Structures are given as C-alpha cells and as structure tokens.
C-alpha cells in the first residue's frame, strides 16, 4: 500500500556524497523529510526521497556541504509525460479496451446441450429464426422468449434453459425420452364399447380379464383379427335372448404364444473407401463466419474426403471471439468393390439379430425359441428370423356388437327410446 502511494506520488533515487552524509540524513529527518532504502556504497550513499521533499533539500545540502544528484526518477508523475510522447501507443491501448468492452456485448458462440433427437442444425436454424445468431447483441437476446418458443415449437423438448456465459449463449434442453415408446392410444368415447382384438396368430398362454367378456381361454388358438375380449356385457331377456349390451372398454392381460418373423438382407457386393495415404493440409482462418483458406496446392485428387479441424479463439473461459482457425485435410481414396465373406455377413447379421432381440426384450416380449437361417443368392445375403415368443396381445378397437336396429353402440341408448328406431341402423360414427 505504501509502495503504491509512493509510486503514484513519484520519487527519486538520489546519490549523496560529501563532507557528512550522516548529518544530511539527520537534518532530513528533523525537517520531516522521509528517507527510505538508504544504502552505503563506500564513499557515497543512495536513498529514496519523494519529489515534494526533494525540492526542500537545497538548504540542507548547503548547510552540510554534501552534494546530491538524481540517479533515477520513479513513479507515475514521470511516467505520464513519457506516455504523452507516445500518443499512438496510448490511443491503441484505449482503443483496445473500448474494443473489448464493445465486443463483449455480442454473442460469439452458441452451444447446445442435451439434444439427441432434435439435431443441432435444426435447433440452430430455429434459434436463428428467433433473430439470435452469432454476432447478435447480448442485450437484445430475450432468453425467456427463446426458452418458451423452444418448448412450444418442439413437443419433444420438455425442459429448456438458456443462459449467457460471457459471450457464449448456452442452451440446455431435455427431451422427452418416453414419446417413442408410448403408443398413441385411440381416444376413447364415453359410453361406447371397445373390443380387444388379436393382432397376430397364436396360442393364448394366459388371460386375466378386468372388464369385458372374454371369448378365449388358455390354450385357445387365435387368428389375427379375432376378438379376444368383447367390449359389451350382454343383458338377457327372460327368455334368454339378448336384449341389449352394456358397453364397456375391454381390458385384459392376455399373453399369446406367437411367431416373430423377419428377413434381413445384405448386399453381397459393397463399395469400400480405401485411403491411399495421400493427403494435403491447408490452414485457414475464419473471421465473422467467413473462411479464408490458404491453399498451397491445386485439387489433385479425383475422390477425396475433407475434414476440418477448427478451433475458436476465446479469452479465459467464456469470452468467445468471432475468430476461428484450423486446418483442412484432404485425403484421397479410391472406391473398391468388395464382397462380404460368409464370416463377415454372419457377424453383421449377428449384430442385427442382437439388436432385434434387444428391442423385443424392451417391449416385454419373452423369447422361447430362436431360429435363424442364412441364405445367399448372387446379389444378396438373406437371414430368415423365426422366433417363438410370448407377447402381450390385444388392440383396442371399437366394438361391432350391435343388435340390428336396436341400439347404436356409440351412444348405448336403447332403441325403444329412439324415435328413429324403425329406420335402418345409422352408420357407426366410431368405425368411420
């Protein structure tokens, strides 16, 4: 602290010699002149004294017969006049400070986190639509509106958070992972009847009915389209004829043993990129989105891959600058037509089969027996997949139960109260 004040006020290092330097120092202290860093170099002494005190030395030197010479000038009062001579330097310094402050008011990088389903490009395009781009003013970015519109535009995005870190806009999103596994259930109409219908052929292994009338039992063979559970409980007349149905939504846990069939194909011939090992590199600089490449060669290859290795400049952690640099690599390759060997084809098929099994397991399907066979013709390899599986069956479909001319299943109203009872049955609105 004392050093800083001394620097701001300015001081000089003086060289003192002559008849009695000790007396000189005593007089200085008696006159309240502060001396520091006094050192003895044999015949002369050096010490520091503030500028203000230096001007008062004259009388003392005359009295003591010592001589004083300035050795060095230190501090701000000596530094400022030097700067005045170097105007361009000061201007540059101030200019750069203003430049940094001005630049920090813009966004120079947009970072997306947490998106798997929605691609980066898609999100970037959407963000650009909101007038938020690399180079837009930080103060004009409405984070709340961005978050809101992201959520409303994409149903799959359930949570968003945007924040500005320095000159970087970070958008974090969370996607709904369940949407894909949730089947779209038909909207059920109140009072209407719905059946559970088999989607595949098979044998019923177990059935537990919660509502509706089960039409199958354990062990019964069913065909695709068969009604498993009927969505209407019959009401009988006294003479055991059906008077009416009480409609309901059939609900049951039915497991049927069925067959999963599928074929996988793989072309025998395929093109493979064989890199010749030849490659060229060229550096480039990207300023404000415009790329300036320094190409030292002409494009020599017929077929090639281009890879970019790009780095964005930044100050500290979050101050991103609109300047990137990197190298562009061009690698030559030749397309070679190859043939899959039996082993290779087998490996690829095994991988695919494992994937199929995994998806089946995820759906809660139990696999009893696996049966796969591999075939080959002149163009393709084939894999026939035959699995014996036990899976949950039953698809909700509007019931077709009607007693002709008696009631509309959708409304469930008895015909006797319907004034149009004699007319031919109206078309079922649900089956439309």
- Cα 60 to Cα 63: distance, rounded to the nearest angstrom: 5
- Cα 124 to Cα 312: distance, rounded to the nearest angstrom: 18
Q: Which stretch binds another protein (CB under 8 A): 34-42, 270-278, 382-390, 424-432?
A: 34-42
Which residue shows structure tokens 């959407």? 126
29 binds another protein (CB under 8 A): yes
Q: Which stretch binds another protein (CB under 8 A): 19-27, 82-90, 180-188, 286-294?
A: 19-27
User: Looking at beta carbons only, is 49 or 127 nearer to another protein?
Assistant: 49
52 binds another protein (CB under 8 A): no
36 binds another protein (CB under 8 A): yes
Q: Which stretch binds another protein (CB under 8 A): 17-25, 216-224, 336-344, 386-394?
A: 17-25
**Phi, psi (degrees; rounded to nearest 5) at 358:** -60, -45
Q: Which stretch binds another protein (CB under 8 A): 25-33, 153-161, 165-173, 329-337?
A: 25-33
User: Looking at beta carbons only, is 3 or 290 nearer to another protein?
Assistant: 3
Minimal distance, residue 13 CB to another protein, in Å: 13
25 binds another protein (CB under 8 A): yes
Estimate to the nearest angstrom the gap between the alpha carbon of 162 and the chain centroid.
12
- Cα 340 to Cα 270: distance, rounded to the nearest angstrom: 8
40 binds another protein (CB under 8 A): yes
- Residue 344: name the closest of 269, 252, 422 by CA: 269
Among 5, 8, 39, 413, binds another protein (CB under 8 A): 39
Angle formed at CA 77 by CA 75 and CA 80, multiple of 5 degrees: 105
Q: Show the tokens assigned to 367.
A: 């696999």
Minimal distance, residue 24 CB to another protein, in Å: 10
Q: How far is CA 282 from CA 105, 276, 312, 313, in A?
A: 33, 19, 17, 19
11 binds another protein (CB under 8 A): no
Q: Which stretch binds another protein (CB under 8 A): 30-38, 116-124, 203-211, 359-367?
A: 30-38
Minimal distance, residue 2 CB to another protein, in Å: 9
Q: How many CB atoms lie within 10 A of CB 45?
A: 20
Evaluate whether 263 touches 382 at the Cβ level (below 8 Å): yes
User: Looking at beta carbons only, is 45 or 108 nearer to another protein?
Assistant: 45
DSSP 8-class letter at 22:
H
Among 9, 22, 341, 392, binds another protein (CB under 8 A): 22
42, with CB counted inside 10 A (0-12, 13-18, 19+), is: exposed
3 state DSSP class of 100 = helix
Binding site for another protein (CB under 8 A): 21-22, 25-26, 28-30, 32, 34-42, 45, 47
């Amino acid at each position: 602290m004392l050093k800083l004040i001394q620097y701001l006020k300015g001081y000089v290092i003086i060289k003192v010699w002559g008849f009695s330097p000790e007396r000189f120092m005593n007089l200085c202290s008696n006159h309240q002149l502060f001396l520091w860093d006094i050192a003895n170099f044999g015949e002369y002494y050096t010490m520091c004294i503030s500028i203000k005190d230096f001007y008062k030395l004259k009388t003392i030197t005359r009295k003591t017969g010592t001589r004083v010479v300035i050795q060095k000038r230190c501090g701000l009062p000596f530094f400022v006049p030097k700067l005045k001579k170097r105007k361009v330097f000061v201007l540059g310094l101030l200019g750069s400070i203003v430049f940094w402050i001005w630049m920090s008011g813009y966004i120079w990088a947009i970072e997306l986190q947490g998106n798997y389903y929605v691609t980066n490009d898609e999100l970037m395009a959407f963000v650009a639509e909101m007038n938020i781009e690399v180079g837009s003013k930080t103060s004009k970015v409405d984070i709340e509106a961005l978050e809101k519109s992201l959520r409303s535009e994409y149903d799959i995005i359930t949570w968003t958070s945007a924040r500005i870190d320095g000159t970087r806009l970070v958008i974090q999103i969370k996607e709904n992972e369940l949407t894909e596994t949730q089947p779209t259930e038909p909207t059920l109409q109140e009072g209407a009847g719905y059946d559970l219908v088999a989607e595949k052929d098979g044998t019923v292994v177990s059935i537990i009915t919660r509502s509706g009338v089960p039409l199958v039992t354990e062990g019964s063979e069913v065909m695709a389209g068969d009604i498993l559970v009927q969505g209407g409980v019959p009401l009988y007349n006294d003479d055991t004829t059906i008077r009416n149905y009480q409609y309901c939504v059939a609900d049951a846990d039915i497991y049927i043993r069925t067959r999963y069939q599928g074929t996988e194909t793989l072309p025998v011939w395929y093109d493979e990129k064989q890199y010749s090992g030849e490659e060229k590199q060229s550096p480039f600089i990207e300023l404000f989105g415009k790329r300036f490449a320094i190409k030292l060669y002409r494009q020599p290859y017929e077929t090639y891959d281009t890879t970019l290795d790009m780095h964005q400049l930044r100050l500290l952690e979050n101050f991103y600058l609109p300047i990137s640099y990197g190298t562009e690599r061009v690698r030559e390759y030749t397309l070679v037509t190859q043939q899959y060997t039996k082993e290779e084809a087998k490996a690829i098929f095994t991988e695919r089969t494992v994937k199929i099994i995994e998806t089946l397991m995820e759906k809660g399907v139990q696999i009893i027996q696996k049966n796969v066979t591999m075939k080959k013709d002149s163009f393709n390899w084939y894999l026939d997949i035959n699995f014996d599986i036990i899976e949950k069956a039953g698809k909700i479909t509007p019931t077709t139960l009607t007693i002709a001319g008696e009631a509309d299943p959708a409304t469930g109203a008895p015909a006797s109260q319907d004034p149009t009872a004699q007319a031919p049955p109206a078309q079922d609105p649900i089956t439309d």
